[in-house]
Amino acid sequence: MADLLTAPPVLPGKFAFFFDLDGTLAGIKPHPDEVVVPDTVLENLQQLSRMNEGALALISGRSMAELDVLASPYHFPLAGVHGAERRDIHDQQHIVSLPAALIQSLHIHLSSALEALPGTELEAKGMAFALHYRQAPHHEAAVFAIARGVADAHPELALQPGKCVIEIKPAGINKGAAIAAFMAEPPFQGRKPVFLGDDLTDEAGFMVVNKAGGMSVKVGPGETCAGWRLESVASVWQWISDVANQQQQQIAQHNGRNLYGSLNRRL
């Protein structure tokens, strides 16, 4: 059972930070276009990134293009579509693609299937498809049946359930693999990972972070393999602010000690 975080723990050492977006950095809205990350939260993320040599990334089911808009004016390393697309610290992009003919045929099939389920919505992400039913939860079983039929017919695809959504994506792609890829590269390499997420899609990330001896944080209720829990998005915002301020104080104290030692040597 995840322990409730009421205050940020002391974080000595070098850490790499990973954040989900919807349900973690921003509240979930009826439609994805309504989501906004407050400016103060973005400023704190930028401060945290700067103090950790850029070892901070956003890990989301959204596309990288959407993440860049939501994080503007800041420019973070990203993993979009659960890691099917990734941008490292050097702006190099790592993209997993599907054949164009397969994408086109799936788009036609899924669009037709969801038309028969009013209130559902198809989101095409290039190499993945999200089948949303937040506005029509009574269609959950039907939506899952459609997605399962596609996955059964195409072994190169896998399903990723989420909150009122099921995604069809390339097999082997998940947030855990994305975090592992970042952790193999500077500036993340050699640090302890910290990952905050709220959904079933984040559990693979929690498992990778736990195995690495890092800190996994589940946002909101629900079963989880995360070691810690924050109650809400507002709690996440406060936690980020507290950790950024805590690290800033540690840096200031360290610099003060260095200055004092330098003065002693001169004297």
Pick the catalytic residue: 3, 20, 88, 198? 20
145: CB partners within 8 A, 6+ apart: none
**Could you tell me the sign of the dihedral formed by the alpha carbons of 196, 199, 200, 201, in that order?**
negative
| DSSP-derived secondary structure for 216-267 | EEEESSS--S-SEEESSHHHHHHHHHHHHHHHHHHHHHHHHHHHHHHHHHH-
- The answer to whether the beta carbons of residues 265 and 58 sit under 8 Å apart is no
Q: How many Å apart are CA 237 and CA 192, to the nearest integer? A: 21
Task: Return the residue matching tokens 């198809």.
Answer: 122
Residue tagged 């301020």 (tokens) = 245
User: Which residues, including other chains, have CB under 8 Å from residue 154's CB and lie 6 or more apart?
Assistant: 102
DSSP for 161-192, written as a single string: EETTEEEEEETT--HHHHHHHHHTSTTTTTSE
Contact 22, 32 (CB under 8 A): yes
3 is an active site residue: no
How many angstroms separate the CA atoms of 191 and 193, rounded?
6
Nearest in space to 225 (alpha carbons), one of 251, 199, 249, 256: 199
For residues 56 and 21, what is the distance between their CA atoms, to the nearest angstrom? 13
**DSSP state letter for 20:** -
Q: Which sequence positions are flagged as catalytic?
A: 20
